[in-house]
Chain A
């Protein structure tokens, strides 16, 4: 086998996701440990969150927050972890831990940003979603501060990546979330003035590898391409010049897909197949020869993505551009149906129990049943706040935050 042979594609999707999850982090399936979940798929297998809620319906708890953020909550065991940024200059960085069952805050740590904190007013310094390996929390901020804490809030190490690389900043704000692959935490920092990706030792924060990237703005997040042999795990870096696969532990390039890709929505991996927001949507399968670029399975320029990332669920791929959700057949890219929602969407959708959850910027959430031949909106739920984060699903619940509050939506 060559290094680029990924998960066997004959696996049932759910089996593959579970296997992938276990291989990456050794977890049991109830966690939601990073942006778009444990495997960046946005899918929560086995979870049954409610499909309707309101101010007094199916809200387990709602707690006030002291800082702003577009970062999503993550769930590790019986705890919710969340980042925020506070202050006139967004330079106060907060990492907080809450009890999953009660919402009671267990601890909060604050730090002072060491990098530039300027963002577009819609964004916040706390835009990247934190990540966890089940033992540690990696909280990353637009200012390129990367904080590693244990689950009880004890600081293990701290990196100020703008302190190290002073030009790595974007005055609109950075958004790329970290990803943990094995014992390496990887961040992708790309801007006009300086760009790089780096893999850091999870235990010490020391640099395992550092790679200069093209100097273009980029807000997409790295994702993992997991192999049955953990030594062959790859990290996929998406940007304006394509998608590059690197050995997650060494940073050595495995292959490169050379068509321009979007700079905001992130790719998704399902069954060893990569769905790239490029030329609409381009679906590639890694070649068996590690030195060759991946093979294109299909592409369809009708499946372009706005800010929300694509999602693959139960043999279908879903993209969103503006308020339009499109559903395609993963086998051939054929458009199956489309739905028009209302409003603007920054949050990426999440999926569980046969439903997709689309959180609108205006606080309205559309829950779509995808079990039929056509998608059906089964509920429209109002939270009454601006929602820009990608939510988490765990404990048969949805966890979502605004600038002001964190909710647990649960039966």
Chain B
């Protein structure tokens, strides 16, 4: 299957170049490529906005043959450029459909099924194809359960969930359970995982959702340090200078030392208020060692209603000073680079002094995953429960 995809990608690239050269409505053969290049130069703070806007206008006048090269250009486009390209694609398609022109259906489908293409571009191609061929949904979605695109996975999981729910109601629990387990292989959105886990557990299945999501569950924690009037957020207490798990540090309430804590919560929530103390006006430092199999780029995804700072191997990677505005799985996504072997993750988590009932939460959840949301596990981790191949995405 892999070889087929590689071959397909190569073919698509060849076809794309040929189409670029052959696009007849443009004055110069290379013009679409130049326009795409101009669009991809757009960057933060409006850099290249005017040029990209003009390029999109011009590119939008092209024939449908240019769709594949534009979709392929999503590959290394920044998020702003991707939106310019998206707009050009949609405009070209609108014009083509209005003029009853033929869209390159086979090439679009090949583009969708080639997993090497950029997930957003594949999804856009899918939506285009769906406008002229509704059968594409039934044809492609069932095979996308472990797709790199979270949107395709979500659709595939939803179909299995519907079917499993129906079978469960029709008195076929074994078959329903099989489908739920299969659905779990693709599920990374918490609503779908919850919808799968509940009936599976009713059927007696043991699930390790912490492992499924890739939560970091074991921490060394020290504190509290002073955060009166929220000023501690910007105070560099000793753990920010050096992490010494044997050290005793002067804290807000006297000498403080690092202590181990772990969470057993399905969704990896370490509840400082309940497991340690409902401190107010406090800073806590939480650290864990992450052993990476190889140097790699991953996302650290955090959910917390508290202000926080995050360091990886001593480097501050993000900070957010917001209190009690909600908590959600994957609330913040921080791209980080891990080195092979041991990596030190340090989280500073701050509680303010608000007295309202809704402002008492002091907790966090952290997981490591790839850009698609699929768990990336430390080298030394293992599921606490026997896992079938089906239960690991």
Instruction: Name B87's closest neighbour in chain A (CB-CB).
Output: A155
Distance to closest chain A CB from B120 (angstroms): 6
A-B pair number, CB within 8 angstroms: 104
Instruction: Name B332's closest neighbour in chain A (CB-CB).
Output: A116
Residues from 79 to 122 in A contacting B, C-beta threshold 8 Å: 87-88, 107-112, 114, 116, 118, 120
A154's contact among B44, B50, B56, by CB below 8 Å, is which? B56
B225 within 8 A of A: no
Instruction: Name B44's closest neighbour in chain A (CB-CB).
Output: A164
A158 within 8 A of B: yes
- Given the known inter-chain contacts A88-B189, A112-B83, A118-B331, please indicate yes or no for A164 contacting B56, CB distance below 8 A: no
Instruction: Annotate A202-239 by CB proximity to B: 1 below 8 A, 0 otherwise.
Output: 00111100000001010000000000000000000000
Interface centre among B57, B90, B319, B323, by most A CB within 10 Å? B90
Distance to closest chain B CB from A114 (angstroms): 4
Query: Size of chain A's interface in residues, with CB distance under 8 A?
Result: 39
Provide the bound-state CA to CA distance between A114 and B80, in Å. Answer: 7
> Are A191 and B322 neighbours in the complex by a CB distance under 8 Å?
yes
A193's contact among B42, B49, B50, B321, by CB below 8 Å, is which? B321
Residues from 311 to 330 in B contacting A, C-beta threshold 8 Å: 318-323, 325-328
Provide the bound-state CA to CA distance between A37 and B332, in Å. Answer: 35
Residues from 83 to 124 in B contacting A, C-beta threshold 8 Å: 83-84, 86-88, 90-91, 94, 120
User: Using Cβ atoms and an 8 Å threshold, which residues of chain B touch A163?
Assistant: 44, 79-80
Instruction: Name A163's closest neighbour in chain B (CB-CB).
Output: B44
- Given the known inter-chain contacts A158-B83, A160-B79, A217-B325, please indicate yes or no for A204 contacting B120, CB distance below 8 A: no
B45 within 8 A of A: yes
Instruction: Name A119's closest neighbour in chain B (CB-CB).
Output: B326
User: Using Cβ atoms and an 8 Å threshold, which residues of chain B touch A166?
Assistant: 318
User: Using Cβ atoms and an 8 Å threshold, which residues of chain A touch B361?
Assistant: none
Residues from 272 to 294 in A contacting B, C-beta threshold 8 Å: none
- Given the known inter-chain contacts A110-B86, A155-B87, please indicate yes or no for A164 contacting B45, CB distance below 8 A: yes
Distance to closest chain B CB from A1 (angstroms): 35
Provide the bound-state CA to CA distance between A217 and B323, in Å. Answer: 11
Provide the bound-state CA to CA distance between A109 and B332, in Å. Answer: 27
User: Using Cβ atoms and an 8 Å threshold, which residues of chain B touch A118?
Assistant: 326, 328, 331
Residues from 32 to 66 in A contacting B, C-beta threshold 8 Å: none
Residues from 157 to 198 in B contacting A, C-beta threshold 8 Å: 189, 191
> Are B86 and A204 neighbours in the complex by a CB distance under 8 Å?
no
User: Using Cβ atoms and an 8 Å threshold, which residues of chain B touch A116?
Assistant: 331-332
A18 within 8 A of B: no
Distance to closest chain B CB from A198 (angstroms): 10
The 4 closest A-B pairs by CB, nearest first: A155-B87, A171-B325, A114-B79, A171-B326
Which B residues lie at the A interface, using CB under 8 A?
42, 44-46, 49-50, 52-53, 56-57, 60, 79-80, 82-84, 86-88, 90-91, 94, 120, 127, 151, 154, 189, 191, 305, 307, 318-323, 325-328, 331-332
Which A residues lie at the B interface, using CB under 8 A?
87-88, 107-112, 114, 116, 118, 120, 147, 153-160, 163-164, 166-167, 169-172, 191-193, 200, 204-207, 215, 217
